[in-house]
Structure 1
Amino acid sequence: MRPKTLILKVDPQNPSINVIREAARILAEGGLVAFPTETVYGLGAAADIREAVLKIFKVKNRPPDNPLILHLADPEWLPRVSRNIPSYAYKLIEKFWPGPLTLILPKAEQVLSEVTAGLPKVAVRVPAHRVAQLLIKELGKPVAAPSANRSGRPSPTHARHVIEDFNGQIDAIIDAGETLHGVESTILDITLWPPVLLRPGAIPIEEIEMTLGVKVTVPEFARGIRESEEAIAPGTKYRHYAPMAEMILVEAEDYKNLDKLVEKVKEIALKKISRGVKVGILCSDETAHRYEGLGLVVSLGPRSDSFIIARNLFKALRSMDELGVEFIVAEGFEEKGLGLTVMNRLRKASGHNVVNAV
């Protein structure tokens, strides 16, 4: 019989200090605790307890070469985990921390090699969620945490998603309701100049470029067009964010005129429906009405608001699974602002099964 997972409900703005202390105690004793951040829920372990860090990989079925992110309570903790920090890093820290920006920095000697998957660099961020901040502060040391989902699955934006994946397999879940951004942090390697985007996330790359005054390098794997040959950061090498259903992404050359995009989505959906397949369509507010009668239609939001679209994406993918959809057809979005993040996730969720609307 599996041990029971403790579900700890809290007010996200004013969490009970007793709950925070209980969760911190579990971490201090080498347990695993899922906790909310402003991006998605994380699966945390005390970063200096090797057995606890290894448990993350085992529970998630995560490849050991896929590094973890260290979460700090305060930017002042940075020297504990990194050395030879570039001076320009502090421009980003001042602007975006606490917040959904993960920086790749030279690793301090004391950081466990299991955390960095043997790499000489470490991924670090300071989360902005009050529960996460209080938990890490109460523990008094960094927390290693990937997203709290089984490897390859859509990231959890609500505690119920964590319960679906890990109930009875981890020690505790802090339930603070839905997360704000709904997608993971932006990961930026600043050991290189110009910096390199490793994973687009909740902070648009344009804001980072404006802060640093330099064009950031965006490799193809950061756009989700292909996987990186090495797992140089979370979300770069392996298939991620995938629903249980088979999925295809329909992209367009011009997202100002959506007619061709809609016709291609319809064509694919109708072919599957004619074979008795249960189809789901992920689309936008502008086109949802045009798919009436073609299976389960879920709008991610208006194309003018990529924040809303990004926030709804993982929730929508999980809802498709919950409703037993067998095949998903997803519309593409323009790669501006958080549109780059959305397209990275959609391309990877589809396993790079992409067609163009021509």
Structure 2
Amino acid sequence: MRAIIGTDPEEAARRLSAGQLVALPTETVYGLGGNALNATAVGNIFSAKNRPSFDPLILHQSTPDRVLAYADSVPDEAQQLAGACWPGPLTLVLPRAAAIPDLVTSGLDTVALRVPAHPLIREVLDRVDFPVAAPSANPFGYVSPVTAAHVADQLGDRIDYILDGGPCRVGLESTIVAFPRGEPTVLRKGGTAVEDIESVLGRAVAVRTVSSSRPAAPGMLVSHYSPGIALRVVDRAGERGTPDHAVVRFGGGTETRGPHDYDLSARGDLDEAARNLFTVLRQLATGGYGSATVELVPEHGLGRAINDRLRRASK
């Protein structure tokens, strides 16, 4: 049975309350949502994605107060970030409350929490009395979806309902910040730039974004975001694309490209490149290519998160 695609947040909330899985739009990517306090629903998320049980999930709610209720304690700097960056593409990893099932946290004593900014998922979250666990709505390890059609293509026969909120505005997953030993540490680069986090806190933060075993947060595995073909990442691509080998550039201007040449942003805009990243990776996956060369983008702001995804897609 194929998932129903609709635009009704009340229907999405009803299905979540009944223990069903619902794909939900966020400003980052589409998430595969389920009742985080319902162990069966959470298990179904892992099954639908073929996600390993050692990779924890992010919990979502509509306000900081509602989502932070599922943390056992909240450091002052976490409160600062929540006040400055929520709703938005930031996830905080905090000591977990007892109500959270072990499967959600992969047995860790911390839980990942977020308040998303997309108006439709916020309407859904306002209608339910539980946090919603929602990893990206794609098979584990593959390209994250930024439209409802992407979700339907990859998971349409495994879930119940897809809430269509249009294309995602940011296009990169949330940045994840934890506080080991009280020190703010970025565990995943994403839609909130590291520089913005440092500006809020008034100091430098540590960055530790890769884990090869038992990750402390989602999105930390070395190999991830794969389009299913061999990728080579370079500073600057000199060749043209061919029917067997695509080329992806950044800031290529308006010069004529061939049918196998792609550009994350012809005008060199990092926000646009972030929005286009997963769409371009999906085009590489479906274009019949055996391989591709992809240019890295400038290593600042959202560029740090884009390059992180490109490097891991090439593993």
Counterpart in 2 of 1:326?
A: 290
Counterpart in 2 of 1:212?
A: 201
Q: Whose radius of gyration is greater, 1 or 2?
A: 1
- Pick one of 262, 285, 303 that aligns with 2:237: 262
Distance 1:35 1:239 in 2: 25
Aligned residue runs from structure 1 range 24-35, under 5 A: 24-35=13-24
| SS of corresponding position for 1:209 | helix
Shift of 1:48: 0.6
Distance 1:197 1:328 in 2: 29
1:242 aligns with 2:226: yes
Shift of 1:91: 1.0
8 A Cα contact 1:106 1:191, kept in partner: no
1:88 aligns with 2:77: yes
1:286 aligns with 2:284: no
Q: 1:231 to 1:303 in 2, by over 3 A?
A: farther
Aligned residue runs from structure 1 range 56-135, under 5 A: 56-135=45-124
- Pick one of 11, 21, 27 that aligns with 1:22: 11
8 A Cα contact 2:17 2:128, kept in partner: yes
- Unmatched tracts of structure 1, length 5 or more: 11-18, 252-260, 352-358
Counterpart in 2 of 1:338?
A: 302
Shift of 1:322: 2.5
8 A Cα contact 1:41 1:148, kept in partner: yes
| SS of corresponding position for 2:104 | helix
Distance 2:3 2:68 in 1: 34
| SS of corresponding position for 1:89 | helix
- Unmatched tracts of structure 2, length 5 or more: none
What are the Cα deviations for residues 149-173 of structure 1, in whole angstroms up to 9, with x where unaligned? 1111110000000000111210100
8 A Cα contact 2:28 2:172, kept in partner: yes
Shift of 1:287: 6.5
8 A Cα contact 1:288 1:298, kept in partner: no
After superposing the two structures, state which structure 1 stretch, 187-196 or 36-45, moved more.
187-196
Counterpart in 1 of 2:3?
A: 5
Give the TM-score normalised by structure 2. 0.95
8 A Cα contact 2:237 2:294, kept in partner: no
CA RMSD of aligned residues (A): 1.8
Distance 1:113 1:288 in 2: 52
Distance 1:342 1:79 in 2: 28
8 A Cα contact 1:189 1:195, kept in partner: yes
Shift of 1:176: 1.5
8 A Cα contact 1:152 1:238, kept in partner: no
After superposing the two structures, state which structure 1 stretch, 149-158 or 191-200, moved more.
191-200
Aligned length: 315
| SS of corresponding position for 1:178 | coil
8 A Cα contact 2:252 2:268, kept in partner: no
1:155 aligns with 2:130: no
Aligned residue runs from structure 1 range 134-145, under 5 A: 134-145=123-134
After superposing the two structures, state which structure 1 stretch, 188-197 or 322-331, moved more.
188-197
Distance 1:204 1:237 in 2: 20
8 A Cα contact 1:74 1:126, kept in partner: yes
Shift of 1:238: 4.8
Aligned residue runs from structure 1 range 148-227, under 5 A: 148-219=137-208, 222=209, 227=211
Q: 1:42 to 1:99 in 2, by over 3 A?
A: same
Shift of 1:289: 4.0
What are the Cα deviations for residues 265-284 of structure 1, in whole angstroms up to 9, with x where unaligned? x2xx68xx5xxx61111102
Counterpart in 2 of 1:231?
A: 215
